[in-house]
Amino acid sequence: MRDNSLDLSIGNMQDIAITLQKRIAEGLKKDGTEIACLPLYIDLKQIGGLTEGSRILVIDFGGTNLRAAIATLKNRLIIIEDNYIIKRELPSKVKESGYTRDMFFAEILSLVKDLPLEGITQIGYCFSYPTKTSKDGTDEILIKWTKGLMIEDMEGKPVGEPLKAYLNEKLNSKGIHFKTIRVANDTVASLLAGLDGEPKDNSHIGIIVGTGYNIACLIKPEGNKLKSTYSIPVNLESGGLHPMGYLSEADDILSINTEEKKFEEEEETNKKKAEGRKEIYKPRQFEYKNEQRIEKAISGAYLGNLLKTIYPYYGFDKKFDTERLNAIINYPGIYKDEIVATAWKIYERSAKFVATSLAGVILMLIEQDPKLEKIHISAEGSLFWSKAGENNSYKQIVETQLSLLLKKLNQNVQVEIFDEKENAILRGTAIAGLLTKE
């Protein structure tokens, strides 16, 4: 390989942060840009008016797990009822051809059917994949699958209403009928969970660094595409940034291989469908789209495979995720020093990219409101709260690098990353769902 340097200098990070700031500005002006900037139209000023004792079904469809829970509003706080949280790993078939929407809906039904749903009429649905608001404003439309998922009959179609209709049909015999469903991205849910009542300014950021990576923040609807009269949460889809010139050859190879594998699986599915219709299938040519480049350098879905790409003949296990990568760093005696050092560089660079991305978002927020003095960050995801070695937590690397970078950028704003909050995604999704009027 020509250059497997995984180092990021403070100057490199400064360049990427400024680029991200510009790309966000472009995404806020128009659709179809590198940073999509997807708004969620909920009125956060109504948080204080939510009805005490309200209960809601919460469904969390993440990159690794599927969860369902019952949430209740008590003393102005969202309480997740501990006895009614169900969690299971996503079935592996969601990443295989032939897995349909109804199969997935049946999986959700099996998760929620035994919960005490009597009297509950609202659903909050955390959907950790890029969506855009439908033209009538009643639902979210799946733009494309990420994280390797391939569930059929869903891309380009509504996400929430079909699930609500399915659950109503299957649970009708139990007297269950849902009136509303609110789809929210996991980064938006993380953002909402960090709010203490109605936000007083736009200083709030939500970030996910786990199987996937993404950032959301509150943005004013001034001089941009947002169709609102008040600040709203915007899912940036920041994983779409391509930090050109700052990725290694191994990153390039991993990106091509990932896209090619997905293309081949899609081709196999399309071929089988054509055969079922007794039609002649015309194969497509693979075209590399160069997508989600910074996400592939940050998120847990890819870091283990990046190490395998750098050392293709070492004999790593077929499934080699970030947990295994961390094990190499935490138990260095098992592997060669060179591999341990590279694993650490991959881990550290991921955290540096996160600090860089946060800096880019902060630059944008300060540009919107030069009077901002403090930024509040709610973080979720197993990678963000992980540790590599005795004294190196991912969060600490992010905090240190972000502080250095903001100083380099001549920004004196204070930054607070909240401590990890229990069931934050479920709580944030519940807020979004309860803010939806019946």
Q: Say if CB 57 and CB 122 are below 8 A apart.
A: yes
Question: Which residues neighbour 77 within 8 Å (Cβ) at sequence distance 6 or greater?
Answer: none
Which of the 8 DSSP states describes residue 100?
Answer: -
Percent of the chain with pLDDT over 70: 98
Strand partners, 401: none
Question: Which residues neighbour 223 within 8 Å (Cβ) at sequence distance 6 or greater?
Answer: none
pLDDT per position as a tens digit, 355-369: 999 999 999 999 999
Which residue type does 100 have? T
Helix, strand, coil abundance in the chain, percent, nearest 5: 40, 20, 40
pLDDT per position as a tens digit, 240-252: 999 989 999 999 9
pLDDT mean over 399-405: 97
Which strands, in side-by-side order, build the sheet including 180-184? 77-89, 65-74, 55-61, 122-127, 180-184
Instruction: Output the CA angle 336-338-339, nearest 5 degrees.
Output: 70
Which of the 8 DSSP states describes residue 284?
Answer: P
Strand duo 55-61 + 180-184: pairing? unpaired
Q: What are phi and psi of 358, to 5 degrees?
A: -60, -40
Residue ranges in 160-299 assigned as alpha helix (H): 160-171, 186-193, 249-276, 293-298
Question: Residue 197 — very low, low, confident or very high, per pLDDT cuts 50/70/90?
Answer: low
How much is the pLDDT for 378? 95
Neighbours of 99 (CB within 10 A): 20
Angle of helix 322-330 relative to helix 337-368, nearest 10 degrees, comes to 120
Strand partners, 141: 132, 158
Distance CA 221, CA 200 (A): 15
How much is the pLDDT for 1? 40
Type and span of the H or E element at 348: helix 337-368
| Per-residue pLDDT at 8 exceeds 60 | yes
pLDDT mean over 54-73: 94
Give Cα separations from 184 to 40, 163, 279, 436 (angstroms): 7, 14, 39, 11
Q: Say if CB 415 and CB 175 are below 8 A apart.
A: no
* pTM metric for this prediction: 0.91
Distance CA 363, CA 368 (A): 9
Distance CA 371, CA 200 (A): 13
Distance CA 211, CA 42 (A): 27
Question: Residue 3 — very low, low, confident or very high, per pLDDT cuts 50/70/90?
Answer: very low
Which domains are assigned to the chain? 10-35+241-417 (3.30.420), 41-189+422-434 (3.30.420.40)
Question: Which residues neighbour 312 within 8 Å (Cβ) at sequence distance 6 or greater?
Answer: none
Which of the 8 DSSP states describes residue 200?
Answer: S
pLDDT: which is higher, 227 or 201: 227
pLDDT mean over 320-333: 85
Residue ranges in 3-75 assigned as alpha helix (H): 10-29
| Per-residue pLDDT at 413 exceeds 50 | yes
Strand positions, DSSP E, 115-201: 122-127, 131-133, 140-142, 180-184
Give Cα separations from 11 to 24, 255, 401, 405, 408 (angstroms): 20, 25, 12, 9, 8
Distance CA 61, CA 385 (A): 20
Instruction: Output the CA angle 43-44-46, nearest 5 degrees.
Output: 80
Distance CA 354, CA 294 (A): 9
How much is the pLDDT for 196? 64
Q: Say if CB 296 and CB 251 are below 8 A apart.
A: yes
